[in-house]
Structure 1
Amino acid sequence: MPALKISFKATLVIACFILVLVSCSRKKDKFLSRNFHAVTAEFNALYNGYNALEDGRKSLIDNYFDNYWDVLPIERMQITEEIMLPGQSKNENFSRAEEKAVKAIQKHSMSIEGKEKNPQMDEAYLLLGKARYFDQRFVPALEAFNYILYKYPASDKINQAKIWREKTNIRLDNDELAIKNLKRLLRQEKLESQDLADATSMLAQAYLNTKSIDSAITQLEIASNATKKEDERGRYRFIQGQLYNELGKKDSANYAFEKVIELNRKIPRIYMISAHIEKIKNFDYSKSNKYELLELLTELEENRENRPFLDKIYHQKGAYYLHCNLDSLAVTYFNKSLRTNSPDKILRAKNYETLGDMNFNKSIYREAGKYYDSTMTNLVLNSKPYRTIKRKRDNLEDVIYYEEIAKVNDSLLYLVNLPDADRIGYFESFIETLKAKAEKDKLKAEAAERKSAGLVTTNTTPGGNPGTNTAPRGGFPGQATTTFYFYNPTTVAYGKNEFAKIWGDRMLEDDWRWSSKTKSIDVSGGVITNILATASEDERFDPQFYISKIPSEPKVIDSISKERNYAYYQLGLIYKEKFKEFELAKHKFQNLLKSNPEERLVLPSKYNLYKIYEILGEEGEAAIAKTDIISNYPESRYATILNNPDEASAKDENSPDSLYEALYRKFENQEYAEVISKCEEYINTFDSEPIVPKLELLKATATGRLHGYDAYSKAINYIAITYANTEEGKQAQELEANVIPKLANKDFIDNVEGISDNYKVVFKFQNPKPDQVSTFKKTLDEVLKNVKYYTLNASVDVYNPTTTFVIVHGLKNAQVAKTFDQIVTKEDKKKIKEPYFTVSSTNYQIIQIHKNLDAYLSINTN
């Protein structure tokens, strides 16, 4: 009986379950069906889907890095250009959320007679659109949101769908459409709370994208007051402050930033710290209390909660000290900011750039260059800031080069001019410095040896006592054994000292053994060539050894002086033209004129000084310089300019640039001999001016065209060495490294069919009479017009100073080229009596480059 009762209950349960399943069909509009599918969709697929969506959003926010140096976007979402294949996703959480939304739609949608009976389907499509939106598949997301608007007009999620649709339009750069639709939504619907915040914040983003800053600020005010999320309120207020700063309204900006600070721990701390930083940037040093600002910065620095943001605080404190002209403290804090290993690349770049500028202003150019190099490593390649710093760094390269020459040669000339007694005293002082350094190194090595005693290991050898010290392999006598040579600081110190004794101070680079790689030692402001690498132990401490190395030959001393004076001149030009550092430029030109310079440098230096005096407002000095130039150099180009300033303001036909342009036109007309001659004349006339390297390069190119490979190679090598730090010098170095080696081959290629598909017919004129070549070419042009089946044309090429070619182009094979006289008409054949030879385009190029026509003709004759 009990068994029968249990069986009956089980049967009843199964029957009820089957009845429920049957009654919950998606095709029947029944109460039970609607609620079953609604509840199942909401608490199963949609619940899991929204959980995955939230996880994905959290990971997006966590991985997003805000750039506080620019106006923040309303929404924290990193847009990538990565193209995903079908079925792929940028984030698995969003893919899972989309799957759950699709599952809810497929299994629980109740579309009966064109109407959706499941009230959760609008929620499913909203989830679907959001998942696609955050996965950056904006077009499919837009389809999902539009489907809600089309299919569920009475849904309680309709306003959310409209807002998300416009968010998607903004991502698709449809800003004007988004503004239009959002304004209509705000006008037609009475949005409240979070919906109002979302709508107005997105409208603000659209206004930002269209540069309507005032309108964006207004909408952000509404969004800030309406949102329920404190982190959103903090972000919106912070963006408001940034926008006020862009409009130049610092008081309003500070008020907005203060609102952010008041939120304190209710928002992410980065907002509060950044608001403090922005307020500090707006600080008026002339009107406000600087000590209160310092107290605030110190308080922010000492607050333990602010440790993750010390990079920003240190940078701002460095900026404070820099503004107060406390440079040493400023450098300390900029370096402290760098040592935090900040993830903010722009902040690191600003730290390096500021340190570079500080070194540049102190004329420490080598250090400035290093800081600018570090700046560029933290900037986006080829971005505008990157190009700006690179241009500054490239200009600095010349300054570093010439300043180093000036410094070295000044010191050498100082030693040359010292009396013998003073020389001995100078080097005795230098030797005392060397001895002090050697003693210090010795004490350091001994201290390191004592310190390493704890690392000493005992070694028991056959027949010996335990603990007997043996010299380590690779060490030096008397040193205790350690596990590895370089783990023992004593051996390392010893090795360094021995290396310095033998080789001197060398850079870690290729070919370090070459004497040209020897560094210089700076002693009391003078640079002495480091010859320690060749000095014995006794010589290192002998003053006469160093005195014997001082140049004594008048020719060598004169060369050093000329090189120094030229460096002064170049530095004066660089400071004046590139950096607009007129005081520095003035001092360089003045020092040059006091140093008995070559005559070629005197007049340009005086004229540049005159221009600098004018710029600096030193009218008396300018008048003296002007009178000097006009009186002592009346026939010069500079005197002409000073006597006729109105004419000089127009383009001077005799200016270096105008003359160069005229020469270049002659080069294009193949007047190579004339170009070479004029270049040499102008190089002497404009000696030491910036146009000279350009003239040299033009001359080298014309020389190559007229005299061939060897002459061109020598000319390019001369430019690469002589003008190494100019643009033309660098171009010559590039040609020498990559182009000239490719032109070196002078072997002809056999005229085998298929190797070259272009051939030329060449008419050679040796020492032609005036107009002979042009008359022949005119006749040839008329003949070529009558040739059938081929499109031919002619040109004139200069081969060398005595030979000119007239070339026929357009022949596609060697056989046709050789029988050229057979493809012209009988009447035209009578007009062309000059002999010719044929050559492939490749071989013609070799002939022109190496000027080896005779070799080519002898091969073809044989």
Structure 2
Amino acid sequence: MKTSIKAILALVCSIFILGSCSRKKDNFISRNYHAVTAEFNALYNGYIALEEGRNDLNDDYQDNYWEVLPIERLEVFDDVVLPGQSKNESFSRAEEKAVKAIQKHSMNIGGKEKNPQIDEAYLLLGKCRYFDQRFVPALEAFNFILYKYPASDKINQAKIWREKTNIRLENEELAIDNLKRLLKQEELEDQDLADATSMLAQAYLNTKVVDTAITLLEIAADATKSNDERGRYKFIQGQLYNQLGYKDSANIAFDKVIELNRKTPRIYMIAAHIEKIKNFDYSNGDKQLLLEHLTDLEENRENRPYLDKIYHQIAEYHLKNKSDSLAVAYYNKSLRTNTPDKLLRAKNYETLGNMNFDVSLYRDAGAYFDSTMTNLVVNSKSYRVIKKKRDNLDDVIYYEDIAQVNDSILHLVNMPEAERLAFFQEFADDLKAAAEEAQEKREAAERNKGIITVNNNIGGQPSNPGNPGLPGQNTSFYFYNPTTVAYGKNEFVKIWGNRTLEDNWRWSNKSSSGGSGNILGGDIVASASEEERYDPQFYISALPSEEKEIDSISKERNFAYYQLGLIYKEKFKEYELSKSKFQNLLKSNPEERLILPSKYNLFKLYELLGENDEAQIAKNDIVSNYPDSRYATILNNPELAASADDNSPENLYEKLYEQHENQKYAEVISKCEEYITAFDGESIVAKFELLKATATGRLYGYKPYSEAINFVAVTYANTPEGKQAQEIKSKLIPQIANSEFVEASDSIVQNYKVVFKFDNSESSKITTFKDTLISVLKNIKYYNLKASLDVYDPKTTLVLVHGLKNEQLAKTFDQLLAEEEWRKIAKPYFAVSSSNYQIIQIHKNLDTYLSTNTN
């Protein structure tokens, strides 16, 4: 009986309490029930979700220590977030909890909020939206707190977060005014003071007021309760002092970061050490002490995650001390750490590329620059600088390869027979010795295979042939035996050289530069039989022997010398290298066309190098032996070099291009051929060749155009014009290859032309007819018709009427004219669609069209 009375009493009490917890009743029980429920249920879970989301952001965020760090670790993305979407599930969940607390526990009675936890809910709501990068909705939440809860204990936090949001929305001036007002009106302490001053510092940084930002960061670092933040603020201070050039002040700031040691993330301490090392005075400082410090950082086991940065700094130290080999070793060590820092990788590759470039290893430099670009943001300034440098190397690599290979071949051809035989005998002996060594390694590998298998089965342990990564494995498979793998690699390099991993790697033109295997041709060694491979006469027989073939190799080598001289002079300003190339060219019995330009370029180089006596000798040589040349004219009249020369190749090209625009295609082709001969050996020739190819296509059609473009693409492959021709060949030529006419279709809107055909011998009639046609077309109402003239081929010119919208109208063009108007121009015509007219002009198949399409 007593039990039932207690149960009934408990039930009654529960009903009474629940009835008293209405959100519409302003009493003690209701206020405290909703406050406690909101705080320890919805808001508690919401803040847990918010913290999870912030941890996810911190884990994904990578600081760029090559620039001044932002105050807050938050990467802002440009992705558009639609309503109802979220970038992070944790923030979405936290926002739901904040909204739930507001909807279920808000006690807005008589226009006043009676639940003291609702302002906290709105603050949580704003933070969730802020970290989810929905800054405008976040701003609304913070402003709502300021508007509805002016007496809230969270009011200062709401103000700070509002200004953080304004800074993200690039309203820095407004944020600065509001934060300065807050600091002046309120006595902020501890974390609130740290947050306000750090955000004010960020606003000043965004507006380039660095000195004020440094002062504010000092206040923030002293006020914050978080050692993580303290280490970050001190480190940013050091970066800003460096930016202003105050290295001593910067080092003091970095020392404060280092003193925090394990209290702050270790990356800040390592970065501080590195920044201090960058500030080292190599002229007056103790280099040995610095090296010991770098070595200590390298050998500290706790620094292993940061060896990429430490190795890079050690490499920089050795590079500044002219220890290039050690610098290269440490740059490569830094790269082998597989660092996630793309800018660090880019700087390593770029420095290695520059070092190879400085010692004229252009192929290696090009490879390093390629790797540099893969680690830079495409189309950024640094990317464009490297790309330009890399593009310039293409020509150098191409012509250096030609010069090196052809020099080697000519050297072998010109050797006395006894020396040549001795050279190839030594080469064959080296091949044989390498093959015998490889055979010994192979036999040793076979013997070791049995020993390994036995040893792995000691104690009755079964072998495991199906799982090659476990003890007792059967190592008969080639790639599981390191000895045979190493042998295979050596054999491949010996036969083929260092080939790039790409399609058609076996082609002879894919072989890498350097090494006797390249001089002799990797394919020759690979294709030789066992007996031929070790016979020196086999290789001697592969050398060119006919005078014509040797002369061709010599000409190709000389042209490569000439191009290298120009490239080193014009693009890289390597005047000594350029001079040596031109001098070697003149000693190599070059063609007549290359002699005078080479001598003139040498004269200019002597002047640039201050070698005045040599310059005078070169000038006298040109003036005396080539008095009628352009170069002699310029040397005798130096003012011509500074003013525009009407007969310069550039001006002649411009005039010829104007003729091309005026459809003087036959004249353009003839003049191009003349200028190509006159300026043979100069870079302008490729431009004339491409212009000639274009004029050829307009005058003779698709097939001659395709052949001319192919010639430019192959002959001038490493010039801008050659690359443009290659692009035309690969993209445009296939698109215009089809010569089939297009059938009229109702679904395709076509423009039509009316065409009058003339023989070129009637040149005066053509001009008169066109003028008359233009005057007649002006009198046609309702249609905006125009006339033009097109060259069809060397014998035919076409006069066209444009602006007709359908085939029937074009076919009955004469009916649009009054009878007296038609008499003025009465001449047979035909109608053609714009697409078919294009095919006619490209493929020169007008007769075919007329035979199948009659009016």
User: TM-score normalized by structure 1?
Assistant: 0.92
Are 2:350 and 1:353 aligned? yes
Residue 55 of structure 1 aligns to which amino acid in structure 2?
A: E
Q: How far apart are the structure 1 equivalents of 2:475 and 2:43?
A: 68
Q: How far apart are the structure 1 equivalents of 2:524 and 2:748?
A: 59
The alpha-carbon deviation at position 456 of structure 1 amounts to: 6.0
Residue 159 of structure 1 aligns to which amino acid in structure 2?
A: N
Compared CA separation, residues 100 and 812, structure 1 to 2 (3 A): closer
Compared CA separation, residues 371 and 789, structure 1 to 2 (3 A): same
Compared CA separation, residues 93 and 850, structure 1 to 2 (3 A): closer
Contact conserved, 1:95 with 1:131, CA < 8 A, in 2?
yes
- Give the unaligned 5+ runs of structure 2: 455-473
Moved more, 229-238 or 759-768: 759-768
The alpha-carbon deviation at position 520 of structure 1 amounts to: 7.3
- Superposed, 1:275-286 pairs within 5 Å as 275-286=272-283
Partner of 2:328: 331
Are 2:669 and 1:676 aligned? yes
Q: How far apart are the structure 2 equivalents of 1:272 and 1:517?
A: 48
Aligned length: 838
The alpha-carbon deviation at position 561 of structure 1 amounts to: 0.8
Partner of 1:806: 799
Residue 198 of structure 1 aligns to which amino acid in structure 2?
A: D
Partner of 1:225: 222
User: Over residues 88-111 of structure 1, what are the superposed CA-to-partner deviations in whole Å (9 max), with x where a residue is unaligned?
Assistant: 322222222222222222222221
Q: How far apart are the structure 2 equivalents of 1:237 and 1:498?
A: 57
The alpha-carbon deviation at position 21 of structure 1 amounts to: 2.7
Q: How far apart are the structure 2 equivalents of 1:554 and 1:34?
A: 108
Are 2:378 and 1:400 aligned? no
Q: How far apart are the structure 2 equivalents of 1:652 and 1:215?
A: 58
Q: How far apart are the structure 2 equivalents of 1:50 and 1:489?
A: 55
Q: How far apart are the structure 2 equivalents of 1:794 and 1:51?
A: 77
Compared CA separation, residues 767 and 129, structure 1 to 2 (3 A): closer
Task: Specify which of 562, 566, 570 is matched with residue 559 of structure 2.
Answer: 566
The alpha-carbon deviation at position 438 of structure 1 amounts to: 1.1
Q: How far apart are the structure 2 equivalents of 1:772 and 1:388?
A: 57
Are 2:578 and 1:582 aligned? no
Task: Specify which of 708, 731, 738 is matched with residue 715 of structure 1.
Answer: 708
The alpha-carbon deviation at position 168 of structure 1 amounts to: 0.7
Partner of 2:613: 620
- Superposed, 1:838-857 pairs within 5 Å as 838-857=831-850
Compared CA separation, residues 809 and 307, structure 1 to 2 (3 A): same
Residue 404 of structure 2 aligns to which amino acid in structure 1?
A: K
Are 2:355 and 1:362 aligned? no
Partner of 1:466: none
Partner of 1:541: 534
Task: Specify which of 682, 694, 700 is matched with residue 693 of structure 2.
Answer: 700
Q: How far apart are the structure 1 equivalents of 2:652 and 2:118?
A: 80
Contact conserved, 1:593 with 1:602, CA < 8 A, in 2?
yes
Task: Specify which of 725, 732, 737 is matched with residue 739 of structure 1.
Answer: 732
Partner of 1:761: 754
Residue 207 of structure 1 aligns to which amino acid in structure 2?
A: Y
Contact conserved, 1:98 with 1:128, CA < 8 A, in 2?
yes
Q: How far apart are the structure 2 equivalents of 1:205 and 1:806?
A: 69
- Give the unaligned 5+ runs of structure 1: 458-480
The alpha-carbon deviation at position 390 of structure 1 amounts to: 2.2
Compared CA separation, residues 140 and 748, structure 1 to 2 (3 A): closer
- Superposed, 1:509-520 pairs within 5 Å as 509-511=502-504
Partner of 2:103: 106
Residue 638 of structure 2 aligns to which amino acid in structure 1?
A: P
Compared CA separation, residues 779 and 72, structure 1 to 2 (3 A): same
The alpha-carbon deviation at position 505 of structure 1 amounts to: 8.5
- Measured on the aligned residues, the alpha-carbon RMSD in Å equals 2.7
Are 2:770 and 1:777 aligned? yes
Compared CA separation, residues 269 and 456, structure 1 to 2 (3 A): closer
Moved more, 211-220 or 270-279: 211-220
Partner of 2:271: 274
Q: How far apart are the structure 1 equivalents of 2:53 and 2:17?
A: 37
Moved more, 80-89 or 829-838: 80-89
- Superposed, 1:812-831 pairs within 5 Å as 812-831=805-824
Moved more, 264-273 or 736-745: 736-745
Contact conserved, 2:31 with 2:115, CA < 8 A, in 1?
yes
The alpha-carbon deviation at position 511 of structure 1 amounts to: 4.3
Compared CA separation, residues 613 and 179, structure 1 to 2 (3 A): farther
Partner of 2:465: none
The alpha-carbon deviation at position 753 of structure 1 amounts to: 6.8
User: Over residues 10-63 of structure 1, what are the superposed CA-to-partner deviations in whole Å (9 max), with x where a residue is unaligned?
Assistant: 333333333333333322322333233323322332222222222222222122
SS in 2 for 1:794: strand
Contact conserved, 1:762 with 1:837, CA < 8 A, in 2?
yes
Q: How far apart are the structure 2 equivalents of 1:182 and 1:488?
A: 69
Moved more, 522-531 or 654-663: 522-531
The alpha-carbon deviation at position 760 of structure 1 amounts to: 1.6
Task: Specify which of 778, 785, 810 is matched with residue 792 of structure 1.
Answer: 785
Contact conserved, 2:449 with 2:476, CA < 8 A, in 1?
no
Are 2:255 and 1:262 aligned? no
- Superposed, 1:488-499 pairs within 5 Å as none
Q: How far apart are the structure 1 equivalents of 2:487 and 2:339?
A: 38
Contact conserved, 2:512 with 2:518, CA < 8 A, in 1?
no
Are 2:153 and 1:156 aligned? yes
Contact conserved, 2:497 with 2:517, CA < 8 A, in 1?
no
Moved more, 220-229 or 7-16: 7-16
Q: How far apart are the structure 1 equivalents of 2:644 and 2:565?
A: 24
Q: How far apart are the structure 1 equivalents of 2:180 and 2:542?
A: 85
Partner of 1:195: 192
Partner of 2:652: 659
SS in 1 for 2:371: helix
Partner of 1:250: 247
Task: Specify which of 627, 641, 647 is matched with residue 648 of structure 1.
Answer: 641
Q: How far apart are the structure 2 equivalents of 1:338 and 1:559?
A: 44
Are 2:94 and 1:97 aligned? yes
Q: How far apart are the structure 2 equivalents of 1:502 and 1:534?
A: 10
Are 2:722 and 1:729 aligned? yes
Compared CA separation, residues 586 and 527, structure 1 to 2 (3 A): farther
Compared CA separation, residues 221 and 631, structure 1 to 2 (3 A): farther
The alpha-carbon deviation at position 490 of structure 1 amounts to: 7.7
Residue 412 of structure 1 aligns to which amino acid in structure 2?
A: I
Task: Specify which of 126, 129, 132 is matched with residue 132 of structure 1.
Answer: 129
Compared CA separation, residues 847 and 346, structure 1 to 2 (3 A): same
SS in 2 for 1:809: strand
The alpha-carbon deviation at position 840 of structure 1 amounts to: 2.4
Contact conserved, 1:503 with 1:534, CA < 8 A, in 2?
no
Contact conserved, 1:756 with 1:840, CA < 8 A, in 2?
no
Partner of 2:30: 33
Residue 536 of structure 1 aligns to which amino acid in structure 2?
A: S
Are 2:428 and 1:431 aligned? yes
Moved more, 442-451 or 620-629: 620-629
Compared CA separation, residues 158 and 502, structure 1 to 2 (3 A): closer
SS in 2 for 1:761: strand
Partner of 1:467: none
SS in 2 for 1:376: helix
Q: How far apart are the structure 2 equivalents of 1:501 and 1:336?
A: 27
Q: How far apart are the structure 2 equivalents of 1:35 and 1:73?
A: 42
Partner of 1:50: 47
The alpha-carbon deviation at position 783 of structure 1 amounts to: 0.4
SS in 1 for 2:515: strand
Are 2:230 and 1:237 aligned? no
Contact conserved, 1:260 with 1:271, CA < 8 A, in 2?
yes
Residue 37 of structure 2 aligns to which amino acid in structure 1?
A: T
Contact conserved, 2:401 with 2:513, CA < 8 A, in 1?
no
Q: How far apart are the structure 2 equivalents of 1:661 and 1:531?
A: 48
Q: How far apart are the structure 1 equivalents of 2:496 and 2:440?
A: 22
The alpha-carbon deviation at position 486 of structure 1 amounts to: 5.3
Task: Specify which of 555, 560, 574 is matched with residue 548 of structure 2.
Answer: 555
Are 2:120 and 1:123 aligned? yes
